[in-house]
Amino acid sequence: MFTVMSEAKRKRVFSGIQPTGNIHIGNYLGAIRHWASSQVGFDNIFCIVDLHAITTSQDPRMLRTRIRQAATLLFAAGIDPRLSAVFVQSHVSAHAELAWILNCLIPMGWMQRMTQFKEKSQKQKERVLVGLFDYPALMAADILLYETDLVPVGEDQKQHLELTRDVAQRFNSTYGLTFKLPEPVIPRKGARIMGLDDPTKKMSKSGSRPGHAVYLLDSPEEIRSKIMGATTDSLREIHFDKGRPALHNLLVIYELFTGLRRAEIEARFKGKGYIDLKRDLAEVIIEGLRPVQQRYRELTMDAAYIDSLLVGGVSKVRPIAEKTLLIVKEKIGLR
Ligand code: TYM
């Protein structure tokens, strides 16, 4: 039987990030730093998903800048071009083509259940774009084109991964075994970092208030001011308690940047107050981001180098995607 599965070798990891807004510590703690720390022993592909970005309105000049910025940040955060292919989604047309084919297998009801769409479209009502509704089909195409085993993501992407598996299964049962079923890899801690201004909302690139998120490229002054201004409750004791979501969020960020155990952190702040925690946390984040920012500055001096890495990335992945698409077309009778 004609199948896209190949001999089991190193597991393939695929993940993506939208080049919209500023990349923040939620993206970093929930996804990027895991991509960077577990490259060895895997076959890694990381995608700058510019076609997903245009599901909301984008200024063309800004989008172009942000695509390169996102790629540069991934390399600055430790993605090693010798171990991982980084590429721009729209440079491989198979993504859009497979998304269309999957559209023709996905019932409306599956899409209507997507909570991220429901949240994002709430305000826009009838003006919401078809592309935003269809976002999960494109995401499924991204993943399925590459015989992906593992998809490391934050918790907000879990439902999209379930849809990806469902559509892969539907294709396989209709046309015969074609797609591998990918597994989500969601970190135990930091999978959902909350907004600093509102601990009931996920930290997001589109958060409109200036104190909502710490961005990876924020200056030390900006980080200090955002952390000092973070929402807290009126209780005193500093300890991990999910019932106190604002404090819990700050402590989780502290935990992830320091690598300390929870008991050690609680001991450190015993008898102390929010001001002490916030002061310390700001410095911990500044130090944690310093090497990423330093490397980012070095990399931006050489835009041609980043372009060459993206060309290298796309030339590794395009043949894989084209092979899968060809098989899919044959299976469904388009060739
Ligand atoms: P995006 O660009 O919103 O986010 C990139 C990654 O960061 C994670 N993330 C978070 N983790 C913890 N706390 C947060 N507050 C937080 N906010 C974001 C996301 O879960 C994600 O892992 N749809 C995807 C991009 C995508 C993709 C794919 C991912 C397109 N195709 C294929 C995996 C596989 C997205 O919008 O990510």
pLDDT, tens digit, 9 for 90 and up, residues 231-243:
999 998 999 999 9
Domain match, 29 and 156 both: yes
Question: For position 120, what pLDDT does the model report?
Answer: 83
Q: What residue numbers bound the domain in which 19 lies?
A: 7-186+303-332
Active site residue 120: yes
Is 284 domain-assigned? yes
Residue 12 CA to ligand 1 center (angstroms) comes to 18
Dist. CA 305–CA 172, nearest whole Å = 41
Same domain, yes or no, for 99 and 79?
A: yes
Q: Is residue 240 part of a domain?
A: yes
Domain identity same for 125 and 172: yes
Co-location of 243 and 142 in the same domain: no
The set of protein residues with a Cβ atom below 6 angstroms from ligand 1 is 14-18, 26-27, 30-31, 49, 52, 139, 142-143, 151, 153-154, 156-157, 191-193, 202-203
Active site residue 329: no
Stretches where the chain sits below pLDDT 50 are: 1-7
Contact of 185 with 153, CB cutoff 8 Å: yes
Single-letter code of the amino acid located at 40: V
Q: Residue 46 sits in a domain of what CATH number?
A: 3.40.50.620
**The ligand 1 atom nearest the CA atom of 156:** 20
Order across the sheet with 150-152: list the strands: 84-88, 43-48, 12-17, 150-152, 183-185
Q: Is residue 222 within 8 Å of residue 282, measured between CB atoms?
A: no
Q: 211 in a domain, yes or no?
A: no
CB 278 within 8 A of CB 228: yes
Task: Compute, in angstroms, the gap from residue 21 CA to the centroid of ligand 1.
Answer: 13
Together in a domain, 182 and 253: no
- 238 alpha carbon to ligand 1 midpoint, in Å? 30
Amino acid 294: pLDDT: 98
CA distance 313 to 79: 12
Give domain status of residue 21, yes or no: yes
Same domain, 164 and 23: yes
DSSP state of 193: P
CB 216 within 8 A of CB 28: yes
Structure tokens at 294: 């330093």
- Please indicate, yes or no, if residue 195 is contained in any of the structural domains: no
Residues 170 and 41 in one domain: yes
In angstroms, the CA 55 to CA 133 distance is 9
Residue 199 included in any domain: no
Ligand 1 mean position, distance from CA 13 (Å): 14
pLDDT recorded at residue 93: 98
How many C-beta neighbours within 10 Å does residue 309 have?
21
319 shares its domain with 279: no
Query: What pLDDT is recorded for position 122?
Result: 84
Distance CA 201, CA 70 (A): 23
Q: Is residue 15 part of a domain?
A: yes
Which residues lie across from 16 on neighbouring strands?
47
Hey, what amino acid is at 92? V
Is residue 202 part of the annotated active site? The answer reads: yes
Contact of 182 with 173, CB cutoff 8 Å: no
Say how many domains are in the chain.
Answer: 2
| Residue 154 and residue 279 in one domain | no
Specify the CATH number for the domain of residue 247.
1.10.240.10
Same domain for 36 and 155, yes or no, is yes
Assess whether 34 and 138 both reside in one domain.
yes
DSSP assignment letter at 215: B
Do the Cβ atoms of 69 and 19 come closer than 8 Å? yes
Of 202, 226, 278, 331, the active-site residue reads: 202
Residue 222 confidence (pLDDT): 98
Closest Cα to atom 16, ligand 1: which residue?
26
C-alpha count within 13 angstroms, C-beta hemisphere, residue 91: 17
Count the helices and strands in the chain (H runs, E runs): 14, 5
Q: Are residues 231 and 88 in the same domain?
A: no
pTM: 0.96
Neighbours of 294 (CB within 10 A): 11
Is position 38 within any domain?
yes
